[in-house]
Chain A
Amino acid sequence: MERLRCDWCESTNPTDANSCRSCGAPLHDAARVSDSGWREAPRIRDMTEIQFGQSALRVEGEIVPVAEIALVAGDSVFFEHHVLLWKDDAVPLSIMALQGGMKRAFAGMPFVISVAHGPGRIAFSRDATGEVVVLPLHPGMEVDAREHAFLLASHQVEYSFVRIQGLRNILFGGQGMFLDRFMAPREPGVLMLHGYGNVLERRLGPGESILLEPGALLYKDAAVTMNVEAVPGLATGLFGGVGMNLVRMTGPGRVGIQSMYVHHETE
């Protein structure tokens, strides 16, 4: 039987589908790729339904999109509490205990992750203009995301975090001390991120590198390495204090950026 293959997440779909059941990408739109090789994240149309484990998720709105999920019994999703928009009375919430809670608390990251269990409806949004990016995770895939950028993930996804190595990377990398790391060890899972503004993705070949504004990084494959570099000759302050730091991403793997980057003062 002929199937439609989504070219964003590579899942297969029935031929009569308009949008990918796994990631919501419109199936009949050509991929939008710039001359420089950046691919725009698929624009998920208003009211697109996505299969999220056994549950159905709907993306509503296109300016500040909302992810509304009807959880079936046995399914659960986890999220940071600040993205919760509304929920049915009956949906139980619980807390996911994390390792290294104190370290995270010092780094200004949430050290509790909330979990919502089915059955019932619950909806999430992040209070900024932007795009929702759905990244289905297959077993063996590892994705690192900017802290606070993840909207929700299905219960098959395992959540941890990686400490960014190197003081320079922490201070000037624009990511803080940690990146969230998501992987699906056994079953496929779904990760949903929210990027400020437009989201663009590029696949770097082995050893290929690119310089990014540090606040622009949204996600990357775990295999992509990042290193902060000062741009030579750009320090203008009295003691060379006002320099410009860019982060060098080196492949292999995907790099996702957001066009409304998180702005960091250079001083």
Chain B
Amino acid sequence: MSVSAYTCAFCGTAGSGEALSCAACGSPVDVQRAVSMSGWEELAAIPDLARLQVGRSTCQIEGALAPVADFTLAPEDSLYFAHHVLLWMDTEVRLEILPLTGFRRFLAGMPVAMTLARGPGRVAFSHDEPGELVALPLHPGQSVDVREHVLVAATGDVTYDFIDTNVSFSTLGGEKSSTEYPVGYLLDRFTAGERPGLVLAHGAGNVFTRRLGEHESLLIHPSALLFKDASVAMHLHVEYPAGGGFSGMNAYLWLRVYGPGRVGVRSAYGHSRSLNPTGFHSDWTERRVDSSTPWYFVRDGQQHGPTSLDYIQGMTLVNRLPSDTPIWAEGLPGWMPVNSIALCKSCGVERPMVKTKWRPVGTKEWIWTILLLPICFPFTIIGLLFSVRRCSVCRVIGR
């Protein structure tokens, strides 16, 4: 029986299809891909004792609860890892320190050095948490961003860098309030050079992946993000539930990710502390859950929509749309640049607020302003001082 050529559904590596699992990432060949109704693909666990080929070295995965990655290194191959994941090694394997630059890593509490293991010999790694091993083969030039502290090992010719997550918020708790980095302070970025490489990460619990299309967005729990393609952009998003009021005490905090590219989440994640909605935070978008206003926007001369205002605002946050993208919704006099639109905090529902230059307003507006001062205070004052935004529905001048 001839075996047809096979392309791995997870990592895209072409194989002969003769083995039971993909030689690059260990994903089983003979199983139906398990895709949930919502589009998440359950990472098919690497079968027990499956072998991955990494250059001339091999890696065997052992166990299912807290799996072990057992590498047989060829003489010219090397691996780097954070020292605490080493489980055992042969006596002939040589270890060296791979110093990393970056004082910020030190500040962020991340390892300032990696350990390098040089072949020949066997060396094995595991994480002290139940979960799954995710093998991310990198084609030449490909990059992947991985949450800090989840790296198991990477092949020696994969370059290692880190990027700011730019995702943070301040927490509740009065004097004990602190800045929380739900995705970590830095993300590890791995890039393959001219040769393919392998990054092995550990996801606590089960791991699910999803491939987002261009301009597709998704909200995920910030602490659940395990890895993403470098092309995926992200920012914080806050959702105020209906009836929760604008105090924000019941706000849901999300990480909004934008395609194109893969996103991987883990099902066991640490909980971050509660958000202080009036405190400092990285750039975010906001939404009332009861918002239903359909919005339209223009990209490349074409009208798109209906969608939500925060989606368009988020696209400008991550530079996928220019900040003066024309948008429109029912109630607006015409197409307005997105940066002139905000939420009305007086109506209780999402309404377009049109920012205008300061200009003298009529007596009626002044009376309304003074009457509504207690409701919109202090936004009215700030608004009057700098610019005026007026709700297209309730006509209230706000921030």
Q: Interface on A for B, CB 8 Å cutoff?
A: 32, 34-36, 38, 40, 63, 129-131, 196-198, 200, 209-213, 215-216, 231, 233-234, 236, 244, 246, 248, 257, 259-263, 266
Closest A residue by C-beta to B113: A236
Determine if A131 and B65 form an interchain contact, defined as CB atoms under 8 angstroms apart.
yes
Q: Of residues 47 to 104 in B, which have CB atoms within 8 Å of A's CB atoms?
A: 48-49, 51, 58, 60, 62-68, 70, 72, 83-84, 86-91, 95-97, 99
A210 partner, pick from B60, B64, B88, beta carbons under 8 A: B88
Assess A129 versus B66: contact at CB under 8 Å? Given A34-B60, A35-B58, A36-B72: yes
B126 interfacial by beta-carbon distance below 8 Å: yes
B residues in contact with A244, CB < 8 Å: 83, 86, 95, 115
A266 partner, pick from B83, B91, B129, beta carbons under 8 A: B83
Determine if B128 and A261 form an interchain contact, defined as CB atoms under 8 angstroms apart.
yes
Determine if A261 and B126 form an interchain contact, defined as CB atoms under 8 angstroms apart.
yes
Determine if A198 and B87 form an interchain contact, defined as CB atoms under 8 angstroms apart.
no
Determine if B87 and A36 form an interchain contact, defined as CB atoms under 8 angstroms apart.
no
A46 → B minimal CB distance (Å): 14
B330 → A minimal CB distance (Å): 52
Closest B residue by C-beta to A261: B128
B124 interfacial by beta-carbon distance below 8 Å: yes
A198 partner, pick from B62, B90, B99, beta carbons under 8 A: B62
A-B pair count, CB < 8 Å, reads: 110
Assess A198 versus B128: contact at CB under 8 Å? Given A36-B72, A40-B48, A234-B95: no
- Which of B49, B66, B112 has the most chain A CB atoms closer than 10 A to its own CB? B66
Q: What are the 9 A-B residue pairs with the smallest beta carbon separation, nearest first?
A: A197-B66, A198-B63, A129-B130, A259-B126, A260-B66, A259-B66, A260-B128, A212-B88, A36-B122
Assess A210 versus B91: contact at CB under 8 Å? Given A260-B130, A266-B83: yes
A residues in contact with B72, CB < 8 Å: 35-36
6 interchain pairs, CB-CB under 8 A: A34-B70, A35-B72, A38-B70, A198-B62, A200-B68, A211-B88
When chains A and B are docked, how far (Å) is the Cα of A212 from the Cα of B70? 13
When chains A and B are docked, how far (Å) is the Cα of A177 from the Cα of B266? 37
Task: Apart from A198-B62, A198-B68, list 9 A-B contacts with CB within 8 A.
Answer: A35-B51, A35-B70, A35-B72, A63-B65, A196-B66, A216-B87, A236-B112, A259-B67, A261-B87
A32 partner, pick from B48, B86, B87, beta carbons under 8 A: B48
When chains A and B are docked, how far (Å) is the Cα of A213 from the Cα of B83? 10
Determine if A260 and B129 form an interchain contact, defined as CB atoms under 8 angstroms apart.
yes
Assess A260 versus B88: contact at CB under 8 Å? Given A34-B60, A35-B72: no
B121 → A minimal CB distance (Å): 10
A112 → B minimal CB distance (Å): 29
Interface string of B26-61 (1 = CB under 8 A from A): 000000000000000000000011010000001010
A residues in contact with B113, CB < 8 Å: 236
A residues in contact with B58, CB < 8 Å: 35
Determine if A213 and B62 form an interchain contact, defined as CB atoms under 8 angstroms apart.
no
A40 partner, pick from B63, B86, B95, B128, beta carbons under 8 A: B63
When chains A and B are docked, how far (Å) is the Cα of A102 from the Cα of B280? 54
Assess A32 versus B49: contact at CB under 8 Å? Given A129-B130, A233-B95: yes
When chains A and B are docked, how far (Å) is the Cα of A215 from the Cα of B86? 10
When chains A and B are docked, how far (Å) is the Cα of A114 from the Cα of B222? 45
Closest A residue by C-beta to B90: A210
When chains A and B are docked, how far (Å) is the Cα of A130 from the Cα of B65? 7
A residues in contact with B124, CB < 8 Å: 36
When chains A and B are docked, how far (Å) is the Cα of A236 from the Cα of B83? 12
A197 partner, pick from B65, B97, B115, beta carbons under 8 A: B65
When chains A and B are docked, how far (Å) is the Cα of A124 from the Cα of B235? 46
Closest B residue by C-beta to A217: B88
B110 → A minimal CB distance (Å): 14
A200 → B minimal CB distance (Å): 6
A residues in contact with B91, CB < 8 Å: 209-211, 248
When chains A and B are docked, how far (Å) is the Cα of A263 from the Cα of B86? 11
When chains A and B are docked, how far (Å) is the Cα of A138 from the Cα of B100? 52
- Which of B70, B88, B113, B130 has the most chain A CB atoms closer than 10 A to its own CB? B88
Determine if B130 and A263 form an interchain contact, defined as CB atoms under 8 angstroms apart.
no
When chains A and B are docked, how far (Å) is the Cα of A200 from the Cα of B64? 12
When chains A and B are docked, how far (Å) is the Cα of A229 from the Cα of B112? 23
